[in-house]
Amino acid sequence: MKKIISIVLSITLCVAVGAVVLNNTNKTEIEYTPFSSGNSQETINELEEGMDIATEIAEEAAENPVEVTGSALGYIVVTDTIPADGRTDVADELQALIDANPNRTIYFPDGVYLISHPIYTPADPRKSVDLQLSNYAVIRASSDFEGEALVILGGKDAMNDTHTVGSNYALEGGILDGSGKTNGVVIAGGRETAIRQVSIKHTVVGIHVKYGANSGSSDADINDVNIIGTGGTNSIGVIVEGWDNTFTNMRIGNVFIGFHVKTSANALTNIHPLYYSDYTDYENSAGFLDDGGNNIYNFCYSDQFANAFITTGEVSSVYDNCFCYWYSEAGHREVAFKADKFNSVVDNLRCGFRYDTRDNNHVLITEKSGGTGEFDTVLVENHKVKSSTHNLYKEGSIYSFFAKLFA
């Protein structure tokens, strides 16, 4: 009886799924009679017949799949009017398409879209567009490219408005290739802008979030983005000049500075910058450079930069479950934290120093004493570290107590 019940449930599910698929393929429905209330053998026979019917439905659906295209989803499909051949300069055509289709999703199928100047999206919610690129759609800078970046979001029709439909727009998917000549994306205006699942290659600066429309707040959300820089000392993964942004799940390589945060109220989670350039001016390279303070870093991982985390002035930020690691002795310098005055809170820091560079390895270097910062749990092999300055700032230390008392 348990076997019969199991078969009944399985066949019922197959028939239901098959019917839905058949309906989507516009096929004529195959008539099926409900199970009889006869004896067990009759029921089994009907169940087997039902399996045959479900199999036939699935086979017909596989032979006649429903094609889901940008047009079918109601999108504006770029290649309906613009070539993606990687040879034709389509910058003007793309801009005209964006300007002519307010509050629409502009869809870029696979292909290479060559541009000689930036394309701009409006900040005004009544004119905004959503740019959606398929996985292998590439927007590439031409050899004669001129301009600040490939894509400038909110770069025209300035507006500070989160109430009107259309205020939350995005760049999603695909590949942006700066060809070593320009930046990737600039968020220049508007609010609530999103960048999602984008691969940014060969750019001087990957993403630049500028001073936001709401008294500096840009309120951008950027996640699942990979950035590859140009390797020069001017190459930066992300520059943040607006307030109140979130950055999540990002990998950044071949840059001199991974993240340069110039403002406050930003949250960085699972960010991994990696240094593998030619070691020019290496001692000034940084995974994370914080000028603004009052930012939160969670599970951020600096890889091979001379300085994993730098704070300037007397700023204070929070670092939780962060890492720094060095896999090569080529740079001859390994510093976990560098601060003008150490005022930050660091909880659960893991330092992966190399033994062969121990004379230049430091958990903390400060320019001035007297900071009120604190280390709570630092995982480090002490024989690989030259100085023990960080011990002064350990939670519960006498120095830490008096530094806070007289701050």
pLDDT tens per residue across span 308-332: 999 999 999 999 999 999 988 887 8
Task: Tell me whether residue 219 is in a domain.
Answer: yes
3-class SS of residue 163: coil
Angle between helices 2-24 and 40-63 (to 10 degrees): 30
Residues, the chain = 407
At 12-35, the pLDDT tens digits run 444 444 444 444 444 333 344 444
* Residue 282 within any structural domain of the chain: yes
| The last residue of a domain, from among 23, 40, 63 | 63
Residues 252 and 392 reside in one and the same domain: yes
Q: What is the pLDDT of residue 47?
A: 64
Residue 230 sits in the same domain as residue 169: yes
pTM exceeding 0.85: no
Phi, psi angle pair for 33, to nearest 5°: -90, 135
Q: Are 85 and 25 part of one and the same domain?
A: no
The secondary element (H helix, E strand) that includes residue 45 is: helix 40-63
Q: What are phi and psi of 65, to 5 degrees?
A: -70, 155
Same domain, 118 and 51: no
Alpha-carbon distance of 250 to 252, in angstroms, equals 7
Residue 238 structural domain: 76-405
Domains contained in the chain, number: 2
pLDDT digits (tens, 9 = 90+) for 262-281: 999 999 999 999 999 999 99
Among 269, 302, 289, which Cα is nearest to 340's?
Answer: 289
Q: Tokens 């000689």, residue? A: 116
Residues 27, 126, single domain; the answer is: no
Residues 200 and 115 in one domain: yes
Is 82 found in the same domain as 231? yes
